[in-house]
Each structure stands twice: as C-alpha cells, then as structure tokens.
C-alpha cells in the first residue's frame, strides 16, 4: 500500500502557475483517473495537493496530468513545480499543513478549515477510505494539539486582528466598550467589523459626508454621529479608530487633555490608520492613552510573526511524536491485517478493509 | 521535622520559579497547571509546618521574625489560592512564587529563628491582631504583584514592544479591578488587625502603633484617591508596590521591636 502526496504550493510556484491546477480535478476523478484506492484533493489559494493511497506506484506526472486535465499545456511546463512525499514524509507533511506550519503566514488557522472541508467533500464522494480517514482524523487532532500547546497561533497579523487583539489586552471584554470610527474607509470598515465580531455593541461612525457615515453605520450595526461633534465623543468612548484624509492632525494633546481629566480611570485606545496621521504622536505620551499608528500596527504584526516562528520547533516536536505514533499504529494494523489474511486463507475470518 | 517541611515547601515554590523561567526562555508559556500545583503543594507543606510549630508553641506561630516571615509567605499563598484562579489571573502564580520563595528562603538561611520563652496560654486578642494583620499583608503583597503585572503590561502597550508574556498577562482593566479588590480586602483586614490591637490588654510600644497607623493612612489615601479618581491606574499600581515595600520595612521594624520588648 502506497501513501503519497503530490502537490504544488506557494513554496514551489507562483500564483500564475498554481492557478492552472485549481478546480480541474476532484478526489473522485483523481481516484478513477489514475487508479488510486483512495484520494483527496486539498485546493486553497496557496496550494493544490493530492493525498492518495494506491496498490501500485503512481507517478507524479500522472497526478499532474489529472490536475491539468482541462488545460491545453505541454507536460514539461507543469511537472517541475510539483513536490512529492511518500509514506512517513507524507504523514509529516499533512500534519505540518493542517497545523499551519507550511502556510504562507505561519500558524494561520484557515488551512485547518480548508483541510476539513476537503476531507468532508472527498468522504461524501466516497473517495476517502479507511486509510485516509485515519490519517486526516489524526491530522486534525495534531493541529488542535499544536494550537493548544504552543503559541503558534498567538498574536495578530492583520490591521483588523491586531486592533482587536490590542483592544482585548487593554479592556478584556469588549462588549462594554464604546467605539468611534472616524472616517468611513475600507480598512476602517473591516476593523469595525472585527471589533463588532468580538462583542462591541456601542459603535459610532463619524465622517465628513454624513451619508457615508450612515451607510457604514448601517453596514456594521452602529449609529452615525455628525462630524462636528466627533471630538466631544472622546469623553465617552474607549476605542477611537481613525482614518480620514485630513492633511493636519485632528486630535492633539490640547484637545484631549481636558477630556482625559474626566476619565482618568478609563484607558483610551486609539488606532490611527490614516496617512498622513490624524492623531498627534505626542498623544501616546499622555497617561492612559495607547496610540497605534499604521507603522506600529505593522510592527506588532511582525513581532507576532517572529513569535510564531519561535514556536515552530515546539510544534515540530509535537508533530514528530504523532508521526512516529501514527506510522507505528498503521504498521501494527497492517501486521494484524496480514495475519488475518493468512488465517482467512486457512478458512478462518474474512478480511475487511475497515479493519486496516 | 517542621523545618524539613518548610524546606520542602520552599523547593516547591522554587520549582514554580524555575518552571516559569524555563518556559519564558523557550517562549512556550503555559503557567496555569504546573504553577498552581506547585504552589498548592507548597501551601499544604507551609500549613503543615505552621500547624506543627503552633502545636509545639501552644499558640499562633508568630513569635519571632522567622515565624513572621513564614506566616507572611503562607498568607501570600493563601490569598493567591483564593484570588488567582477566581479572577483568572493565571500568570499571577508566576509572580507569586518568587516572592514566597524569597520570603521563605530568607527565613531559612538567616539565623532569625530564635526561640523566646512564651506564655503557653498566650493572649488570644494579641494572636488575632498579629495573624489578621499578616493576612492583610498577604493581600497587600498580592496587590503589589498585580501592580507589577499592570506596569509590565502597560509598558509593553505604550512602547509597542510586545513580548511572549504579553499574551499571557490579563487585560489592563481586569488587573486594575483585581488591584482595587485586593487593596480593599487588605485594608479591611488591616483595619480589623489594628482595632483588635487595642483589645490585647497590654500597652503596645508607641513606635509600633505609629508605624501601623502610618501604613493604614497610606493605604487609606491610595484607596481614597482611587475612589475619587484622582489617580490614574498606573499610579495606583506603582503606589501598591511602594506601599508593600513600606509595609515590609515596617513589619521588620515592628517584629524587631517586639523581640526587644516581648509581651506575654
């Protein structure tokens, strides 16, 4: 029984190469096309991989042809970016993929959901048998363990997620936080949505164009505030998210100082993603004010990535343990199965595939 | 025998300190389980030590500086066991263990375990006064630890340099709420301790009374300023550290003068 993985990913090919292999083949078509006993296709924006089990050896070229089935392209041009892992290496590769170690952004969790979806799809079509079932179930378990026992998924790596993470480190529960979104840009909207998804209910939107403020407020479940009145809101709010196109600083120490005296025991978190900046950098020196501009948010995202990379060794150790255990359990299963085959040939119990 | 229990207890706290240091170095920090178990075991051994010593003395074992330090370390552990998990301040154990280890380690290595002749019957008001005051010190110690955690988290947020520990420290507002509660608990117990001091039936040394009232006024001022929102949370956190440092110095002085002028 051969277990193998053939694929192309962001490590080996650019997007124009990868996109040639997406959506052309299903697990079923691979299984029937090349004669595999079991097959599964994992296709994401960063990778297209085929996991398969076969009685005889199937070449990388055959799999690549299947993935390219509907394209008119010479075979030489697509075989080169493919990699191939077999047996133990294949198990290890899948565990790394599911845990987010092979992802472009190390530790991202989207791949876990995509792997689950690919597994469900292949299982429904009947292309997954007992071998891949056990392999993928174990991969999901390993991925969960890696996330729980290391900091591989810690820290945020996008503007929205950094803002949410920092807000949670300051306020804890965000459900009682009041947020003012100043400027109705696309990043503001995404960040506001991220904050709402973490429990924010009091969301106010202010923009020079009141219509745009109303539109965004409606889209994110907040309320519009006249632009003339935005500064006064700083007495009540906990988080200010600003991204206007103003050429000068809208919020300075002089404006904020009298308001801070009234809210000395409550921190104010300001996310300034505007360029040029809407908030005077000196505001960060004020007591209880935490100001993050676009550069400091990027810096936090980079620190998170460094932190995640530091966790790779710990994650690899967990994976190595599971690979050994999984390979051993499969070998024992095959050993038992071959004994049963012998007994079956002597007229004892019939061998069932599921017993593998 | 009782000293061995204390050594074992100190080793438990040392294990929690070493474990925390090791995890911080590797960057894989899972503070809750091991630290809580180590501190829990250390606390049981501390309790056993104090119980044996108390039985031997026939009174609450706070008759010399050595016992006072151990009782204080026990109070810190007790308050942590009550407060840490309840407020989900999982990292607090990582900060509590070094303090307890230092208190007990200091008590063990310095020759301060002098046995004084004591009245076997003791004075229940005096014992209540001393023990409740030390438990209050435990709450002030935990407020100090929460203050250190607050300043650490605040510093990281201000400078935008986030270390691995940042993701394990509780949010600023939760830490500040914990500081306030611990200050109130400590202040309440300390007030009770001071009041009970007037029922001991013996005149307390003037310096002790002045020192105790000065500390009470310091914590009352911190709480009042916090209540009236005169002080920013960062300053309250810093004052908790200063307050506990003053409290430790006064405790030393009070115990020292008490040893010079022992009471029945």
What ipTM does this complex have? 0.78
Give catalytic residue positions of A.
45
Q: Are A233 and A336 within one domain?
A: no
- Is residue B159 within 8 angstroms of chain A, CB to CB? no
CB < 8 Å to A288, chain B: 232-234
Chain A residues whose C-beta sits inside 8 Å of any chain B C-beta: 149-151, 154-155, 166, 168-172, 264-265, 267, 284, 287-288, 290, 292, 296, 299-300, 303-304, 307, 310-311, 314
Distance (Å, whole) CA A288 – CA A290: 7
DSSP codes, A180-225: EEES--HHHHHHHHHHHHTT--EEEEE-SSHHHHHHHHHHHT-EEE
Chain A residues close to B166, C-beta within 8 Å: 169
pLDDT of residue A145: 93
Helical ranges in chain A per DSSP H: 15-18, 27-34, 60-67, 76-79, 87-98, 110-125, 130-149, 159-171, 186-197, 210-220, 253-261, 294-310, 312-345
Q: Closest Cα to residue B185, out of B247, B136, B236, B243?
A: B136
Six token digits for residue B35: 């630290």
Out of A67-81, A312-326, B89-103, B147-161, least confident range = A67-81
Q: Using a CB-CB distance cutoff of 8 angstroms, which residues of chain A are in contact with residue B30? A: 149
In the sheet with A289-293, reading across from the earlier edge strand, the strands are A223-225, A202-206, A178-182, A239-242, A268-272, A289-293
What's the confidence (pLDDT) of residue A40? 94
CATH number at residue A125: 3.30.460.30
In this prediction, residue B242 carries a pLDDT of: 94
Cβ contacts of B223 within 8 Å, gap of 6 or more: B183, B184, B187
Q: Are residues A48 and A103 in the same domain?
A: yes
Residue contact A288–B232, C-beta within 8 A? yes
- A-chain CB neighbours of B174 within 8 Å are 172
Closest residue in chain B to residue A281, using alpha carbons only:
B158
Q: Are B191 and B216 in contact (CB under 8 A)?
A: yes
Distance of alpha carbon B186 from alpha carbon B181, whole angstroms? 9
Question: Chains A, B: CB contacts under 8 A, how many?
Answer: 69
Contacts made by residues A294-302, CB under 8 angstroms, sequence distance 24+? A294/A159, A296/B160, A297/A159, A297/A162, A297/A163, A297/A271, A297/A273, A299/B160, A300/A155, A300/A156, A300/A162, A300/A165, A300/A166, A300/B160, A300/B162, A301/A155, A301/A156, A301/A157, A301/A158, A301/A159, A301/A162
pLDDT of residue A355: 36
Residues 6+ apart with CB under 8 A from A259: A234, A235
Picking from B26, B169, B171 by the largest number of A CB atoms within 10 A of its own CB, the best residue to mutate is: B171
Q: Which domain holds residue A29?
A: 2-154+311-355
- Of the partner residues A154, A170, A311, the one whose CB lies closest to the CB of residue B157: A170
- Burial of B210: CB neighbours in 10 Å, binned 0-12, 13-18, 19+: exposed
Residues of A in contact with B26 (CB under 8 A): 314
Q: What is the pLDDT, as a whole number, of residue A354?
A: 36
CA distance A110 to A8: 18
Annotated domain spans of chain B? 2-260
Residue in the block written with tokens 């004052």: B239
pLDDT over threshold 70, residue B1: no
Kindly determine whether residue B153 and residue A288, on different chains, have CB atoms separated by under 8 Å: no
- Can you tell me the distance from the alpha carbon of A103 to that of A40, in angstroms, rounded to the nearest whole number? 19
Whether pLDDT at B99 is above 70: yes
Residues A163 and A268 in one domain: yes
**Computed over its alpha carbons, how large is the radius of gyration of chain B?**
19
Q: Which residue of A has its CA nearest to B31?
A: A149
Pair B49, B6: CB distance under 8 Å: yes
Amino acid B90: pLDDT: 59
Residues A37 and A144 in one domain: yes
Say what the pLDDT of residue A337 is: 54
Number of domains, chain A: 2
Is residue B224 over pLDDT 90?
A: yes
pLDDT per residue as tens digits for the range B12-57: 999 988 887 777 666 555 556 787 888 889 999 999 999 998 888 8
To the nearest 10 degrees (0 to 180), the angle between helices B233-260 and B124-159 is 150
Stretches where chain A sits below pLDDT 50 are: 341, 345-356
Looking at residues B241-245, what average pLDDT do you find?
93
CB contact under 8 A, A172 and B173: yes
Q: How far out from the chain centre does Cα A139 lie? A: 16
The pLDDT value given to residue A347: 45
Scan for tokens 């803002």, then name that residue.
A163
Choose from A155, A175, A267 for mutation: most chain B CBs within 10 A: A267
The verdict on A148 and A276 lying in the same domain is no
Name residue, tokens 């390979």.
A327
Residue of chain A nearest B88, judged by CA positions: A172
CB contact under 8 A, B28 and A154: no
Separation of first and last alpha carbons in chain A: 11
Q: Average model confidence (pLDDT) for chain B?
A: 84
What angle, rounded to 10 degrees, do the helices at B65-83 and B32-57 form?
A: 140
% chain B with pLDDT above 90:
34
Same domain for A132 and A23: yes
Q: Are residues A149 and A163 in the same domain?
A: no
Chain-chain contact of B171 with A149 (C-beta, under 8 angstroms): no
Residue of B nearest to A309 (CA): B27
Mutating which of B157, B175, B178 best tests the A interface, going by the most A Cβ atoms within 10 A? Answer: B157
Which of B24, B25, B28 to probe the A interface (max A CBs under 10 A)?
B28
Strand, coil or helix: B17: helix
Is the domain of A168 the same as that of A30? Answer: no
B231 touches chain A (CB under 8 A): yes
Q: Which residues of A touch B161 (CB under 8 A)?
A: 303
A42: alpha, beta or left, given left = phi > 0 and alpha = psi -120 to 50? Answer: beta
**Residue A274 is part of a domain; what is its CATH number?**
3.40.50.720
User: Of A298, A296, A267, A303, which Cα lies nearest the Cα of A281?
Assistant: A296
Strand partners, A39: A52
Q: What is the pLDDT of residue A117?
A: 93
- Peptide bond before residue B113 is cis, with ω within 30 degrees of 0: no
Query: Is the CB of A300 less than 8 angstroms away from the CB of B167?
Result: no
What is the pTM (predicted TM-score) of this model?
A: 0.74
Q: Which residue in the set B27, B160, B173 is minimally distant from A296, CB to CB?
A: B160
Q: How far is A222 from chain B (nearest CA, A)?
A: 24
CB contact under 8 A, B30 and A149: yes
What pLDDT score does A356 carry?
A: 36
**Residues B229, A267: C-beta atoms closer than 8 Å:** no
């Amino acid at each position: 029984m051969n277990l193998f993985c053939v694929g192309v990913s962001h490590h080996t090919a650019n997007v124009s190469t990868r996109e040639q292999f997406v959506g052309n083949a299903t697990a079923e078509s691979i299984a029937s096309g090349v004669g595999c006993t079991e097959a599964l296709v994992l296709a994401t924006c960063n990778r297209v991989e085929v996991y398969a089990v076969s009685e005889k050896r199937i070449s990388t070229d055959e799999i690549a042809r299947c993935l390219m089935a509907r394209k008119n392209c010479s075979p030489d041009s697509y075989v080169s970016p493919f990699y191939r892992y077999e047996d133990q290496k294949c198990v290890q590769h899948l565990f790394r993929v599911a845990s987010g170690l092979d992802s472009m952004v190390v530790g991202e969790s989207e791949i876990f959901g995509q792997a689950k979806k690919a597994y469900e799809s292949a299982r429904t079509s009947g292309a997954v048998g007992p071998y891949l079932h056990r392999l993928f179930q174990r991969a999901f378990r390993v991925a969960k363990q890696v996330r729980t026992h290391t900091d591989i998924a810690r820290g945020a790596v996008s503007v929205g997620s950094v803002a949410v993470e920092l807000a949670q480190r300051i306020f804890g529960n965000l459900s009682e936080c009041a947020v003012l979104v100043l400027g109705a840009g696309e990043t503001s909207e995404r960040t506001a949505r991220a904050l709402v998804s973490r429990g924010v209910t009091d969301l106010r939107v202010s923009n020079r164009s009141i219509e745009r403020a109303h539109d965004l407020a409606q889209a994110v479940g907040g309320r519009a505030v006249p632009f003339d009145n935005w500064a006064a809101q700083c007495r009540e709010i906990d988080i200010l998210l600003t991204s206007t196109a103003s050429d000068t600083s809208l919020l300075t120490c002089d404006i904020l100082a009298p308001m801070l005296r009234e809210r000395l025991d409550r921190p104010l978190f300001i996310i300034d993603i505007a360029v040029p900046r809407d908030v005077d950098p000196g505001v960060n020196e004020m007591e209880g004010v935490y100001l993050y501009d676009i550069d400091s948010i990027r810096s936090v995202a980079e620190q998170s990535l460094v932190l995640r990379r530091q966790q790779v060794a710990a994650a690899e150790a967990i994976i190595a343990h599971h690979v050994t255990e999984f390979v051993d359990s499969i070998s024992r299963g095959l050993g038992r199965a071959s004994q049963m085959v012998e007994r079956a040939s002597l007229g004892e119990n019939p061998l069932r595939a599921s017993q593998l | 025998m009782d000293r061995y229990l204390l050594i074992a207890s100190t080793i438990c706290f040392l294990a929690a300190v070493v474990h925390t240091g090791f995890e911080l170095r590797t960057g894989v920090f899972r503070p809750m389980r091991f630290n809580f178990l180590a501190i829990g075991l250390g606390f049981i051994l501390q309790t056993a030590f104090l119980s044996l010593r108390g039985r031997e003395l026939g009174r609450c074992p706070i008759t010399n500086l050595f016992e006072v330090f151990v009782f204080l370390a026990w109070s810190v552990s007790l308050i942590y066991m009550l407060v840490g998990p309840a407020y989900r301040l999982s990292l607090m154990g990582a900060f509590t263990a070094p303090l307890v280890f230092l208190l007990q380690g200091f008590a063990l290595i310095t020759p301060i375990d002098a046995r004084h002749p004591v009245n076997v019957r003791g004075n229940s008001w005096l014992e209540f006064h001393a023990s409740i005051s030390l438990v209050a010190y435990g709450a002030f110690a935990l407020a100090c630890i929460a203050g250190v955690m607050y300043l650490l988290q605040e510093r990281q947020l201000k400078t935008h340099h986030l270390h691995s520990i940042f993701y394990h420290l509780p949010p600023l507002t939760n830490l500040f709420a914990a500081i306030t509660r611990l200050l109130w608990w400590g202040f309440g117990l300390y007030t009770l301790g001071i009041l009970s001091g007037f029922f001991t039936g013996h005149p307390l040394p003037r310096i002790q009374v002045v020192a105790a009232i000065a500390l009470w006024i310091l914590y009352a001022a911190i709480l009042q300023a916090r209540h009236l929102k005169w002080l920013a949370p960062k300053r309250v956190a810093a004052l908790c550290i200063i307050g506990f440092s003053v409290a430790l110095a006064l405790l030393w002085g009070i115990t020292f003068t008490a040893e010079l002028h022992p009471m029945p």
